[in-house]
Chains A and B, each alone.
Chain A
Amino acid sequence: MERAVPLAVPLGQTEVFQALQRLHMTIFSQSVSPCGKFLAAGNNYGQIAIFSLSSALSSEAKEESKKPVVTFQVLHFSLAHDGPVYSMVSTDRHLLSAGDGEVKAWLWAEMLKKGCKELWRRQPPYRTSLEVPEINALLLVPKENSLILAGGDCQLHTMDLETGTFTRVLRGHTDYIHCLALRERSPEVLSGGEDGAVRLWDLRTAKEVQTIEVYKHEECSRPHNGRWIGCLATDSDWMVCGGGPALTLWHLRSSTPTTIFPIRAPQKHVTFYQDLILSAGQGRCVNQWQLSGELKAQVPGSSPGLLSLSLNQQPAAPECKVLTAAGNSCRVDVFTNLGYRAFSLSF
């Protein structure tokens, strides 16, 4: 698959259609395989592609050419979902993908052998509606071996991965949920949604513990962008969230914003990395912030807008320790260190 068709190449019907499809592709989600050598990416057409990071990063591949896309074969390519693939996570054996209403499980080992049959599929108990609500976020809770799904129906569903049954429903959001984050120490989950609130849930009692309505704080409110919280990350007592309101670092116990990061574009993904905060959203760049609010670096990628970042920190594959970023294009940018974009994988 080529990234850019050279100019003035005669195009037939199918070629034009494929070119247009690639042009309007959005990659919503990524997930690194448990072995750390492969990366799965899901797009708006419901396709999941598996890229081999290890072969893309190997020295031979680099010497071969500077067009990585041609070199790195998409190992596995199937129409996995009817609608877009909004979210994906990997357990130690499975890849879980979610889009319109359903979560599906795929066996990593089989996918790498190009067997693209889904292992199982589950639908959370929705209230009846004209439209099937989408699942925007998946979150693994390793301690209780469960999966939390959240999305269009404004609720958090907990699914026991052992039995495949839905055990809990956490209600509280008034609009659909964009993102989830797990607090590592206590069994608490954070969720952020279109209604502009970040809610903290206690998994033991299945109750809402705390609510932060970000847009109500004048420092970070940006009414022209809307209230929605698009991204969320947490580290001990700290939480960072962004979206319509400005990207803000919060101290959870006191519910106060401590740092407001000076960036105008709405952010779609944020994560803690060592003592930095990485964020991405509209615009080509991956932003690196100091906790104090200073912009440490802005590394440009190839997509006009980014939707997801993925840090490959699998201990099994230290040579594949990279940052990947994907969004409004058919390309997944690969950053071998945080400083610059090494190359792009492409659908």
Chain B
Amino acid sequence: MSSESSKKRKPKVIRSDGAPAEGKRNRSDTEQEGKYYSEEAEVDLRDPGRDYELYKYTCQELQRLMAEIQDLKSRGGKDVAIEIEERRIQSCVHFMTLKKLNRLAHIRLKKGRDQTHEAKQKVDAYHLQLQNLLYEVMHLQKEITKCLEFKSKHEEIDLVSLEEFYKEAPPDISKAEVTMGDPHQQTLARLDWELEQRKRLAEKYRECLSNKEKILKEIEVKKEYLSSLQPRLNSIMQASLPVQEYLFMPFDQAHKQYETARHLPPPLYVLFVQATAYGQACDKTLSVAIEGSVDEAKALFKPPEDSQDDESDSDAEEEQTTRRRPTLGVQLDDKRKEMLKRHPLSVMLDLKCKDDSVLHLTFYYLMNLNIMTVKAKVTTAMELITPISAGDLLSPDSVLSCLYPGDHGKKTPNPANQYQFDKVGILTLSDYVLELGHPYLWVQKLGGLHFPKEQPQQTVIADHSLSASHMETTMKLLKTRVQSRLALHKQFASLEHGIVPVTSDCQYLFPAKVVSRLVKWVTVAHEDYMELHFTKDIVDAGLAGDTNLYYMALIERGTAKLQAAVVLNPGYSSIPPVFQLCLNWKGEKTNSNDDNIRAMEGEVNVCYKELCGPWPSHQLLTNQLQRLCVLLDVYLETESHDDSVEGPKEFPQEKMCLRLFRGPSRMKPFKYNHPQGFFSHR
């Protein structure tokens, strides 16, 4: 730069000397064109760099001149003034140059500014234009995408496939030659075809509708005809009733019963159906009927929701009510009643036995407990003289007890009931059994109700096959039970009067002459039996349950008194009565201190099968008692005579015996041999 500036400075110096001529010439050119002098135009012609050199040079010259002047003044000579003058002129020239330069600089600055401003304005305009263009581009792009996204309605229409279209459409629509190549035309043609087809189908639809209308009208007419037929048929039925009656064909009655049966709860219905079926097929002596009010049964079905609500609410309510109302007892009572409610309909079975006695069984269904109960009643052909001791034999409470082993009918067979009882404070069902009837297990089975032992579950469904499989055995058992009870009843009547009523067909079991006599036959309470000192073995063996009946017999001969405590199992006569003996004669003798008393017990208890008599062995009890009398005779007559006691034997030996004693335990000859009539050892 410095070198350049120094270069520039030289031409300036030269110009200021001789070169301005060239500068002037240039200037004159412009001046000539403008024909006026303008310093501004001069500026354009001058090189700012050269001006800068010139400015530097001028400043230096001035400094030098000033220094020379100062020098001259300080010397103060004579010609100094000229010299100074000269110098001063030179300085003035230089000042002029400086002034000129200053002006030029100003003009230049102004010019620069103007130029800059102009350029800036231009840039601004360009920028604005650019913005506009960008916006326009964006808008156009949006429009393009909008167009691209446009969907025509026809696309949603399901068209038949292309192949099908060409196959089916008539050529004036398909126009294969035009449309094959042009998808647009093709689509239009297909749409046309679609429209055509739809029009056709709509036509068909309308036709079908009118057809339907017509058929409906026809049906209406036929219905009217049928409904008019019903009253006419009814009147014919009504008219035929006397004819039915006259011909003993109770179709109508049976029909009515079936009608009623429809309202039976499922278990009773099962029982009804199975019992009727069994009665028709196997046992003509069985008659089935339905009792109770049908209307009530119908009414039961109407508001089932209400009652259910009550049930479900009862839990929550119970606590509240205890606090709120003082009449808790009454409420519980009501709840109990509700729980133990029977279905208004019941099934009656009448089982007729050979001797015209009838067993009436009434089966009930406890709706809320889902169990069945039965009430039994026995009516006999003749009026029975009721012996005191036979009180329990035919009582409704016990006549059917233990029909199957262990079936006492006191406990509910449905395990779920226990939880229901807990809610309303019922301890056991047995307190209500008299009123409700007994829920024997076999009753549930006849009704097809089967309760699993372990898990209580609510979904117990009445099952026909279960009922059917139990019907026959149960009916037979029931008959046997009634007959054996009636037989016992008859026997008791005699026994109470001291007569052992041996029938003629059992006479061969005993010798003709029996001296020992039955003098007493009374019933005893279970507790009293348990407390007897000679019945401990039976109690220990578990044979003295509280469902059994207990009796006490007294057999006498002379001074000897034989007490016999009898356990009568409800399963008589398949299960024998069990005897325990106590002989009062020369001291008290029981099975624990006299082997022969033990043997006598064995004779009646274990060897009872010999005493059964003809089937169905209802005479067993009588025969056992008669046998006891015989045994007592043998026992007393064979007792060894005590030589030391004076006088004749109290019981002379009248029975024919082969031997008096036998075996290590010195058994007496208790066995009676029928035709020969002698006694021997077993």
Contact = CB atoms under 8 A, between A and B. Distances in A.
Contact of A328 (B545, B595, B640): B595
B518 to A, nearest CB: 22
Contacts of B540: 4
Contacts of B606: 17, 20-21, 24
A142 interface: no
Given A28-B663, A136-B664, A228-B661, A19 B541 contact: yes
B contacts with A: majority SS:
loop
Contacts of A152: 659, 662
A84 B667 CA distance: 12
B665 A8 contact: no
B598 interface: yes
Interface stretch (B81-89, B250-258, B284-292, B567-575): B567-575
A153 B282 CA distance: 60
A12 B477 CA distance: 14
A6 B542 contact: yes
B579 to A, nearest CB: 10
A46 B573 CA distance: 27
A130 B677 CA distance: 13
Interface residues of A, number: 45
A109 B236 CA distance: 90
B591 A304 contact: yes
A125 interface: no
A7 B542 contact: yes
Contacts of B658: 129-131
A9 interface: yes
A18 to B, nearest CB: 10
A328 B537 CA distance: 12
Contact of A5 (B402, B541, B592, B640): B541
Given A7-B542, A23-B541, A223-B643, A13 B663 contact: no
A131 B542 contact: no
B476 to A, nearest CB: 15
B666 A13 contact: no
Contacts of B665: 26, 28, 268, 307, 328
B474 interface: no
B682 A83 contact: yes
6 contacts: A11-B405, A11-B569, A15-B405, A17-B606, A26-B595, A130-B658
B605 A20 contact: yes
A176 interface: yes
B542 A23 contact: no
Interface centre among A4, A8, A11, A178 (most CB of B within 10 A): A11
A224 B538 CA distance: 30
A228 B663 CA distance: 12
Interface of A: 4-13, 15-17, 19-24, 26, 28, 83-84, 86, 129-131, 134, 136, 152, 176, 178, 194, 223-224, 226, 228, 230, 268, 282, 304-305, 307-308, 328
Given A178-B664, A268-B664, A304-B593, A24 B542 contact: no
B545 A305 contact: no
Given A24-B605, A223-B642, A226-B640, A8 B662 contact: no
Contacts of B211: none
Contacts of B662: 134, 152, 176
Nearest to A179: B664
A176 B644 CA distance: 23
Contacts of B543: 11, 16, 19-20
A304 B536 CA distance: 12
Closest 6 CB pairs of A and B: A10-B406, A24-B602, A304-B592, A5-B542, A12-B405, A223-B644
B610 interface: no
Contacts of B640: 226
Contacts of B576: 16, 20
Nearest to A84: B663
Contact of B546 (A8, A19, A178, A305): A8
B659 A11 contact: no
Contacts of A304: 591-593
Interface string B190-208: 0000000000000000000
Contact of B598 (A5, A6, A15, A24): A24
Contacts of B602: 24
B659 A176 contact: yes
Interface in B611-666: 640, 642-644, 658-659, 661-666
